[in-house]
Chain A
Amino acid sequence: MDLTRLTAAQLAEKVHSREVSAVEVAQAHLDRIAATDGAVHAFLHVAAESALQSAALVDAALDAGRPPASPLAGVPLALKDVFTTIDMPTTCGSKILEGWHPPYDATVTARLRAAGITILGKTNMDEFAMGSSTEYSAYGPTRNPWDTSRIPGGSGGGSAASLAAFEAPLAIGTDTGGSIRQPAAMTGTVGVKPTYGGVSRYGLVACASSLDQGGPCARTVLDAALLHEVIGGYDPLDSTSIDAPVPSVVEAARAGASGDLTGLRVGVVRELGGEGYQPGVERAYRGAVERLEKLGAEVVEVSCPHFEYALAAYYLILPSEVSSNLARFDAMRYGLRVDGGASAEEVMALTREAGFGPEVKRRIILGTYALSSGYYDAYYGQAQKVRTLIARDFAAAFEQADVLVSPTAPTTAFPIGDKVDDPLAMYLNDLATIPTNLAGTAAMSVPCGLAEEDGLPAGLQIMAPALGEARMYRVGAAYEAARDADDSDDSRVPLIQRVPTLEVSR
């Protein structure tokens, strides 16, 4: 039995029934990382020793007859390198934080530990989560396990690739404009952006504070739901945390897997498709919508006329917040310092020049511009109004439909190097995911087949109102079960199991 091919739910069952030990499960994944990560580069740091120690504690507790600390106790996980960890470096994919050992754990980290989840290490990402391909990591790109000449999406390409490479059954990402969902679509995995405020941002190094949201990544909808319930919920250390119970997403995923969507209204967003969308992606997406209809859902078309302005608003709001948030990297209290200037100001400017990569610099400059007096009203002020209009579009659409759907990303994974020097082309990857972040609502990506042109995975995006995660998980699980059970679709093999076997080095 290859433990790395199992789902998180299956692994948990085997560990909790003592069929296998948590240490064996951890070791199997560490071995897999050692064999494959040279080709994938999903990890920036592998914490083998602490992973095995954590797993041993889970084994000891179970052997002593204590109940598992959580439904995922003993299951390994890959953590995006943007969450602070007291026992591992946290770099955010940036040279400015190379070798930084944070003095505290993020709330997400602490909850994972308390749940007995085995943290395998920290995953690669675009620098400070700015990018859609993981090529803007200062530590080199991550490669897509489906085709290692291609990008895995971004910014959470490391987390998504670790799942598709079977290096980890669970991962944590963050989604500011699509950084969980777009990599999920590119790698044939599941990624969820919870409602803004649903998962604590304490210890999540900020990109754009009003948009950032941590969330679960997995290979199945149920696994994502199990992880969602571990990391979600109120945190007094995050002033934007929602003080309400975590939606019952595990129950919803289990109910959804029975496959009946009778009475559910699915809204197809007219504006998210057509020009700029790869034909094979659109075909896979339309197939998914037809499948939802066969499961009993009523499909209606909805219009969100202001979504076409979402990208423009986002690339004003995000850089504005970035330019402010990243001012903390001043070479004085932590991180890199480049000595060479006479004054603190010169040292700071030289350090930031050496420590930040090109995309981070572009966005800081753009944000500084958008917030300048004389431009503020024309750019930042207008973008904030667009944000209102997008939230209203969502509200109107959710009057007509219980969930909204679209392709997650306009294309499949593109070759490494293709868009790295064309920022605007890179930004277009997030066309369909950005509106959700601007509105603070919830959305997920579920794999919906392979595009005909290139045989690479495409994603179905399912969007729900704020705190409406349960219905989204229900739809995702129903779709996933129907997709994997389809006789006409070659081998009745779950989509993710069709990822090419990586050449492993031993």
Chain B
Amino acid sequence: MSADSPGTISRDEVAHLARLARLAVTDRELDLFAGQLDVILGAVARVGEVAAPGSDLAEIPPTSHAVPLENVFRPDERRPGLTQEQALACAPAAEDGRFRVPQILGEEA
């Protein structure tokens, strides 16, 4: 994906993003989302107005988290967790004490 036109998004790009995000969107949704996301991106692109490269604020540090985080450790001790039965209780499919899943590779892979 190229970065030459931030703030606009095409229907094809939305289709590509939906595939990346594992969403089997319909054609009707693509039409709808492409227009809506274009409007939203136009609005959020405003973040580029501040702290732009070359400006006074360009070197401002990013904040990923409101509270500065350090690694949080706990004693390496056993504690109760879910039983196998509990973990599998809400699975769409289970077999022999394991999650049963569809084949993980497609035919062509």
Contact = CB atoms under 8 A, between A and B. Distances in A.
Given A335-B92, A374-B3, A240 B25 contact: no
A441 B93 CA distance: 43
B21 A388 contact: no
A466 B46 CA distance: 27
User: Chain A interface secondary structure, helix, strand, loop or mixed?
Assistant: helix
Given A333-B91, A375-B6, A385-B50, A342 B102 contact: yes
A424 B21 contact: no
Interface stretch (A31-39, A257-265, A345-353): A345-353
A361 B23 contact: yes
Given A323-B21, A349-B24, A358 B29 contact: yes
Contact of B20 (A210, A236, A368): A368
Size class of the contact patch on chain B: 35 or more
Contact of A373 (B1, B44, B67, B92): B1
A205 interface: no
B106 to A, nearest CB: 5
Interface in A91-106: 100-104
Nearest to A330: B22
Contacts of A347: 102
Interface stretch (A248-256, A312-320, A480-488): A312-320
B87 A369 contact: no
B81 to A, nearest CB: 9
B61 A388 contact: yes
B47 to A, nearest CB: 4
A386 interface: yes
A388 B63 contact: yes
A476 B103 CA distance: 57
B17 A388 contact: no
Interface in B45-101: 45-51, 57, 60-67, 69, 72, 74, 82, 86-87, 89-93, 99, 101
B25 A334 contact: no
B76 to A, nearest CB: 13
B46 A210 contact: no
Interface stretch (A270-278, A376-384, A496-504): A376-384
Contact of A313 (B3, B36, B47, B92): B47
8 tightest Cβ-Cβ pairs between the two chains A and B: A440-B66, A384-B62, A337-B92, A374-B3, A353-B24, A103-B86, A349-B24, A334-B90
Interface of A: 100-104, 196-197, 210-211, 236, 239-240, 242, 306, 309, 311-313, 315-316, 323, 327, 330-337, 339, 341-350, 352-353, 356, 358, 361-362, 364-366, 368-369, 372-375, 378-379, 381-389, 391, 423-424, 427, 437-441, 466
